[in-house]
Structure 1
Amino acid sequence: MLSFWEKQTFTAYDYAVVGSGIVGLSTAISIKEKQPDASVVVFESGLLPTGASTKNAGFACFGSLTELLEDIKILGKEKALELVMERYLGLVKLRERLGDQNLDYHNHGGYELIREQELYCIEEIETINDLLKDVFDKKPFEENKSLISEFGFNEQVVKSMIYSRYEGQIDTGKMMKSLINVAQRMEIRILSGASVSKIEDNGSDVDIVVADQTYGHVNFKAGSVAICTNAFTKKFINDLDLNPGRGIVLVTKPIENLKFKGVFHCEKGYYYFRNYGNRVIFGGGRNLDYKAETTTSFSLNEQIKTELLRQLDEIILPDTPYEVDYFWAGIMAFGQNKQPILKQHSDHIYLGVRLGGMGVAIGSRMGEKLAEMMI
């Protein structure tokens, strides 16, 4: 049983956020920026932020050319443009809030490997550049075939390359550590290992039940709650167009004389790789087995591991010796389209979920907008 002091001091807040990933911490920070005297608590089920925020590959990007063309097919030009703008503004906000040094941000550029079946997109470069003319001060995309040999890729498979000048890379661990540090300096309380089992809007405020090893459960109250649990949100709200999508990633050991720097996209964004110093971080392959990868399990799909290694051997590092250091998995959230879910669910409960694999880009912007809705 909680003591009088614990009930008085630790269980009631003006605002609560469920999930301490990019969106959750960005929401909490944005609330405190707007209301410095407000009490804010963040609940995190794991010891570390669980899902994708600490497990992504560290891309500071807004989408490759082929991805944007797919978005236009599904969303139409206007909504696709709006999505690019939100991603770009999110990256600007992230960099402004934390600083490039704390992110270990580098603008080595973004690149897309174009195979035979994707050559159609070359003719669309100027169309997309024109669509994005009000977002960027220079044309974001241009073709550069010479980069194939310069970077050492397999020229039998890679038929062209597209350069994107506005894409960069970050250190995901440093980003999350910096977000946590900012939140703590603002006296936002972060409770790790706090698995929320129930969230109920009672009409005047919100009751939150948290599982606890000592007490069995602890009851909290908050004036408003933001649910920022992305792929794990159906634990609380079932009727959402939201499905988990596992992403498997590997990192190599340091490679002597690695030929490329930057972030790279392949096959409409289903594969992605980058340098981290002289290592290669490479992930993707969810499209090989959608059914198995629609999961919140952090296990590794052997079929996808095998395909990642094949592409490293045959396409990315065909003439370069390397060793894989290790693999890991993160859990993203997807729906019928890539638009995030950002809405008021009830009088005092709000949602900021379904980032479509673009959490680094759009997370800070979502947190800012979610805070504006709540206040």
Structure 2
Amino acid sequence: MDLSYWELKNWFTNVDYTIVGSGIVGLHAGLRLREKFPDSKILVLEKGVLPQGASTKNAGFACFGSLSEIIDDLRTHTEEEVVQLIQKRWQGLQLLRNKLGDATIDFNPHGGYELFLEGDQDVFQDCLGKLPFINEILKPLFKSDVFAKEIDRFGFKGIHEYLIFNPFEAQIDTGKMMHALLKEAIAKNILILNTQTVTDFHDAGNQVTVALGSFSFSTKKLFFATNGFAQKLTQNAVQPARAQVVITEPIADLDIRGTFHLDRGYYYFRNIDNRILLGGGRNLDFATENTTEFGQTEIVQKKLEQLLKEVILPNHDFKIAYSWSGIMGIGTSKNPIVSALSDNVYCGVRLGGMGVAIGSLIGTELADLL
């Protein structure tokens, strides 16, 4: 980089803490560091023009897991692990709301619903049978039942007549949330540089050298908050998972309110600005969707359009206005990785597709590793 004396002096000299990634985790880590070390110099590096990955590209679900997802998690995690994970997601949501305010993030507690396709009778019966047990293990956290069976009142087609309702779920405006977080970080004198890709780093013991291509600078501590992009530099067991999303043009007389889960969480949709936002479908081609490349594929886009036509909006004419994708970080375990990579390098990654819920807490925990 062709940098002036002023640029080097003000941005890249005497840096105390450098954070890689300006998403939910990275900005919360920066804000927490500012609380702990008010006079420190904090630099955030972001490879995108906007926060890359999933923080500005998610569906805006303030959720902690549908009933079928929780049941699936119990097959690979202990009961204690699952309850602790849900507790962390719930705590993260409260932390996010308290920090930014419900009005700022457009928090709408419409509740959440899980739909079951007509061919998923076995999944529905399994969920119905285990619903009392799940409610029981979550009651100490929520003080009441979380899941209940309700009749479908939305006019969906091709699904079981009953839905599973969760009154604790809500939706937010992802753009407003991230805009507010960025404004707060800037107000707290946290320096944010975009279109900066970290290509390497070296912990020398008394400082960390950070490489941005051919240019390098030194920082006392380095934090990675790159989630789905974490594997290359941190060598952690994080697998990227692309999520494709579409959103319709505004629909007149749209009477759908809430967050909705379908096919064990592989599809999800919600209302926003009189539109329907629908995402998912990576289960159609896991190999292709385990990528850090943004983009859309024909097989997923066709499936999303089919679900809109045949299941979600069978009685409405609609047009798809936009489509995009985000990159999540997943693994064999749903537990996030918050750990030290060396004496001066740390990471908070693998959010398991629950970044809105757990990101604020993981960012705080990442900063608290010091």
AA of the residue aligned to 1:10: W
The aligned counterpart of 1:288 is: 284
Among 218, 223, 238, the residue aligned to 1:221: 218
Alignment of 1:9 onto 2:10: yes
TM-score (structure 2 length as normaliser) = 0.96
The aligned counterpart of 2:130 is: 124
Work out the percentage of aligned pairs sharing the same amino acid: 43
Please, what is the CA RMSD of the aligned residues?
1.2
Distance change >3 Å, CA 6–CA 325, structure 1 → 2: closer
The aligned counterpart of 1:99 is: 101
The aligned counterpart of 2:294 is: 298
C-alpha distance after superposition, 1:225-272 (max 9, x if no partner): 11011111123123x221111100000011111121000001111000
In the TM superposition, what is the alpha-carbon distance from 1:30 to its structure 2 partner?
Answer: 0.9
The aligned counterpart of 2:71 is: 69
Whole-angstrom distance in 2 between the partners of 1:365 and 1:237: 20
AA of the residue aligned to 2:283: N
Alignment check: 8 A CA contact 1:152 1:259 kept:
no
Matched position secondary structure for 1:132 = helix
C-alpha distance after superposition, 1:273-323 (max 9, x if no partner): 000031000000000100010111112011010011111111111122211
Among 326, 347, 356, the residue aligned to 1:360: 356
Among 243, 249, 252, the residue aligned to 2:248: 252
Whole-angstrom distance in 1 between the partners of 2:228 and 2:105: 24
C-alpha distance after superposition, 1:6-40 (max 9, x if no partner): 44332131111000011011110111112211211
Alignment check: 8 A CA contact 1:241 1:335 kept:
yes
Matches within 5 A, 1:179-328: 179-211=181-213, 217-238=214-235, 240-328=236-324
Matched position secondary structure for 1:122 = helix
The aligned counterpart of 1:348 is: 344
Alignment check: 8 A CA contact 2:113 2:165 kept:
yes
Whole-angstrom distance in 1 between the partners of 2:32 and 2:333: 27
Matched position secondary structure for 1:178 = helix
Alignment check: 8 A CA contact 2:11 2:191 kept:
no
Q: Compare 79-88 and 317-326 and name the one that shifted more.
A: 317-326
Whole-angstrom distance in 1 between the partners of 2:297 and 2:342: 38
AA of the residue aligned to 1:140: V
Runs of at least 5 residues in structure 1 that lack an aligned partner in the other structure: 212-216
Matched position secondary structure for 1:80 = helix
Whole-angstrom distance in 1 between the partners of 2:81 and 2:39: 37
Alignment check: 8 A CA contact 1:112 1:265 kept:
yes
C-alpha distance after superposition, 1:123-180 (max 9, x if no partner): 11111111111211221111102xx2x20111x4334201101110011111110000
In the TM superposition, what is the alpha-carbon distance from 1:5 to its structure 2 partner?
Answer: 4.1
Among 52, 55, 62, the residue aligned to 1:53: 55
C-alpha distance after superposition, 1:107-134 (max 9, x if no partner): 0001100231322101111111111112
Whole-angstrom distance in 2 between the partners of 1:178 and 1:2: 30
Whole-angstrom distance in 2 between the partners of 1:30 and 1:313: 45
Whole-angstrom distance in 2 between the partners of 1:248 and 1:4: 43
AA of the residue aligned to 2:133: T
AA of the residue aligned to 2:316: T
Matches within 5 A, 1:93-172: 93-115=95-117, 116-119=121-124, 120-145=126-151, 148=152, 150-154=153-157, 156-172=158-174
Among 33, 36, 41, the residue aligned to 1:34: 36
AA of the residue aligned to 2:99: R
The aligned counterpart of 1:214 is: none
AA of the residue aligned to 1:118: V
Whole-angstrom distance in 2 between the partners of 1:181 and 1:134: 36
Whole-angstrom distance in 1 between the partners of 2:6 and 2:317: 61
Matched position secondary structure for 2:131 = helix
Whole-angstrom distance in 1 between the partners of 2:217 and 2:354: 31
TM-score (structure 1 length as normaliser) = 0.94
Alignment check: 8 A CA contact 2:231 2:237 kept:
no
In the TM superposition, what is the alpha-carbon distance from 1:189 to its structure 2 partner?
Answer: 0.3
C-alpha distance after superposition, 1:181-200 (max 9, x if no partner): 01001000001111111111
AA of the residue aligned to 1:235: K
- Number of residue pairs the alignment of both structures matches: 364
AA of the residue aligned to 2:154: F
